[in-house]
Chain A
């Protein structure tokens, strides 16, 4: 009897569902010390450096004209959920709990004018059927792997992985890991896209806990008449994008490097471009500097992006 009680206490006690191992809640400020140009002012138009685009992805990207964002039906389209790591903003994170057990049902991540709030379901619910509608936020579930929250997102919509039209498809899935070290929160995101990538895209981004609160409510995106010609979808035909080579003029990079691709993300690609790279004598554009190098400007009321 005594052994039974003790066994129950030991093994029964240890099998109680474990609540969140790490509290992720709080206002996490952006520290845009990587790719700050992409995040704040925006990238050059044909800058696909570091993106593992395949031939289809590259062609799709080169057909992109930023003027499509003036189309009324596209002004307020949201980015996919990986905008969390690719965008410029901090986020507020909180958990929704079961009022009886206190268990976390879901983690919530604030949205913005151009990104939907995200819900990460923690209650074990399955992902929808592959035929279910896709949403801008996708469908996300999470599990704790030790102290790390692992998140899997499906059912996203097509979007851009850089604000110059480099695409991702609605067949892509996202795996995220939330890793907290004190007041730092590093989020990794693997975007696996069988349509437009040679291999998965990988981001890591670190936020810092801040006592200044970040609002969980996003300002609304308000459509306006930006004067697009009715019935016209701005685009570039194959081989007609006038901005190919612009990055070569600014950064001295060979064109092949500016167009991305799976091989370009590996260290050995340096050997391939070593004799073609011409380092400019000085920085020509978006050089950063004291007070400008990293800190993001206050969130601008940017129009939403597709």
Chain B
């Protein structure tokens, strides 16, 4: 063979290596949500690196005394509140909330994921992940892509923008068992409660959530939710929690209940 053939092969191999290296280092967002060559980008539903759909039950092994019952007024243990929040929490009056039709204050996005209950996650359409919660019979919508908030009044569940975070290149190439997570940022929240006993969050709250799915050795799937509540009005520092849900085989015992300010 001619020398030129080897030179050519080496050049092509070098090109291939560079290409592979490039592929393996593609930024996560692009890898998951960008388009393929020459085609329309896959929808967020089609590009989902993890399957969040189905029924999940919260297993309440942490903060039990503050989640499974409505705690006493003035119990703010573990929450990094400031003095303004303390004053607001000390003025908590569940009867007044009920009378004002504000019984869902502890069922807003910044608090509801800590309430005991079940989640039902489905795709509402190719760009919207829907989460129904039986606690308070609430619905959260996670919007992908270039979704524009409709505006108007703030709501308990606010506006949630979602994006897939794909696993890094080397891991993807290795075919690891996990391939990404869901990041959700929520704003335009109506002021509510972090806990059922009136520990407040304000309408200035920004909520950031990361949803991961892991499989335990016994085969059970768990949804691990990492939550960061940023509230410049009522929190002295970001309120960081992690909450676990176990995958259910079916809907039972899905139990939608109305909001309650007292229980």
Contacts and interface: CB of A to CB of B under 8 A. Distances in A.
B192 interface: no
Contacts of B117: 267
B93 interface: no
A293 B210 contact: no
A274 B263 contact: yes
A203 B79 contact: no
B81 A293 contact: yes
A148 B212 contact: yes
A253 B77 contact: no
B263 A287 contact: no
Interface in B31-90: 57-65, 68-83, 85-86
A49 to B, nearest CB: 4
Interface residues of A, number: 77
A289 B168 CA distance: 40
Interface residues of B, number: 75
Of B1, B80, B116, which is in contact with the most chain A CB atoms at under 10 Å from its CB? B80
Interface in A249-306: 251-253, 257, 264-270, 273-274, 277, 279-284, 286-291, 293-295
A37 interface: yes
Nearest to B20: A13
A274 B116 CA distance: 13
Contacts of A181: 165, 181, 183, 210, 226
A203 B62 contact: yes
Nearest to A254: B69
Given A31-B240, A175-B217, A36 B77 contact: yes
Contacts of B177: 145-146
Interface of A: 1-2, 5-6, 9-10, 13-14, 18-19, 21-22, 31-37, 47, 49-52, 144-148, 150, 152, 175, 177, 179, 181, 184, 186, 188, 190, 192, 200-206, 208, 251-253, 257, 264-270, 273-274, 277, 279-284, 286-291, 293-295
